[in-house]
Structure 1
């Protein structure tokens, strides 16, 4: 069932979204050569505890994972892109790190992800990160009343095509609100003018992710971490977005993104 949120409920989700943005900004600041993924995990645990928030990941046991998940953030490195299980790995110069976080505050969830390069950045890594960021902005622009769900998917797919990246449609965006995953799957490729008509009050987590040379994925033995099937590097960008009468409202926008856009 699709639940439309009231303006007051969207405001409450925005409170959660600002905290998610704060945490991801901090993770990006801390991600450096020599930093262990488990140290990042424990730092995020402390931030969540101090805020009085709840992790949407802890004890999560969906059909696509080997649950229950016993971490509060997903950290995926290089060819890993989704659901990365934090483990004893020390970041190296040139690594690509994706951090994906979903928390709930006072019963309302928000979900966001970003990919950063640790240390020296290769141009091809910056390119694929930039592609996911541009695809996300295109998806947000399409998230307007009167458009359809396929317009969002098509916007993402068009950016991927322009960059020459293949698109996997098994995992994509989703509804969000009282829980991390609500009804509606938002594929990262689709046909414009198709699917559900978008209405004010709809809240979605939009999350384009690409691998450089394949649309196929494989799972690690940990049962969670998803990698590109051919080992090519990946990137992932995600925001929680509310559709309002005035257009899309990004609930997880980071301050640095706001400054960059002005």
Structure 2
């Protein structure tokens, strides 16, 4: 069914990439709905319900729900929480918070996975600056996804942008991943690396690119709930992610939202179906 670049790396056909774009569009619609729903006074469990409804109404399945026992359809990580925050009725957003929302969907057996960090109400200037750098580092990493490149080129681009634009913490314990018929597949994609090193990138590879930045030190710790990852020093964190296919013409963002259209054009990436 799949060509192989490596024993554990799927190489997708154009038809399979189109199916992944369909799954990515479900995720994009869920994140659009969540962006509209984020406000002071809403709980992260309410946001979880919004996402699950959008996903199931599209005939898809939430990737996260039940994954190794995870109880939510989204990961909702607030302020110092970096990733894997569990949605809760007790976690109510307040003005000035920031929330990282990670969302995944399975459609016809194919996965889409994407994340955004959003400001709640009136944002702090320092948070917005850190979020902007995190998101742009993702785009720079995506730009390195070209046939003939190396896996290390992606991490090099991400880390370089973060280091050169405010010197925010670059979380090293977590990173991106291959994606396709499973949510997490080989290869693991570090958010740092050496240019020209690592696995050769090939047309048909699909990767989730997801940098995580912090205000303060990059060190993180997992809480006793076995999921939520927080900064060790209590500094706030941001997380952005897109699922991306490598094509002969360059990267194609499979979880692209309408608000990404101008950026994709600016970067010269392959236009996905809209």
| Structure 2: gaps of 5 or more residues | 1-7, 266-274
Q: Which runs of 4+ in 1 moved over 3 A?
A: 259-262
1:132-211 correspondence to structure 2 within 5 Å: 132-162=134-164, 163-211=166-214
CA shift digits 1:44-99 (9 cap, x unpaired) = 121122111111112211xxxxxx11111000000001011001211100000110
Give the match's secondary structure for 1:128.
helix
Distance in 2 (CA, whole Å) between partners of 1:197 and 1:40 is 39
In structure 2, the partner of 1:128 is 130
- SS of 1:223's partner is coil
**2:121 maps to which of 102, 119, 122:** 119
Structure-1 residue corresponding to 2:218: 215
Structure 1 residue runs without a partner (length 5+): 62-67
Instruction: Spell out, residue by residue over 1:113-143, the C-alpha distance to the aligned partner (whole angstroms, 9 max, x if none).
Output: 0001000011110011101111011011100
Which aligned pairs between 1:41-52 and structure 2 lie closer than 5 A? 41-52=48-59
| 8 Å contact kept, 2:215–2:235 | yes
* 1:8/1:260 CA distance change after superposition, 3 Å: closer
**Could you say which residue in structure 2 is the equivalent of 1:26?**
33
Q: What secondary structure sits across from 1:100 in the alignment?
A: strand
Does residue 239 of structure 2 align to residue 236 of structure 1?
yes
Counterpart in 1 of 2:107?
Answer: 105
Following the alignment from structure 2 to structure 1, what is the Cα–Cα distance between the partners of residues 93 and 247? 40
Scaled by the length of structure 1, the TM-score of the pair is 0.95
Separation (CA, whole Å) in 2 of partners of 1:28 and 1:95: 14
Q: How far off its partner does 1:168 sit? A: 2.4
CA deviation profile, 1:177-221 (whole Å, cap 9, x unmatched): 001001111110110000011000000000011111111111222
**Cα deviation, residue 232, structure 1:** 0.1
Normalising by structure 2, report the TM-score: 0.91
Quote the RMSD (CA, aligned, Å).
1.1
CA-to-aligned-CA distance 1:155-186 (integer Å, 9 cap, x gap): 00001111201222210000000010011111
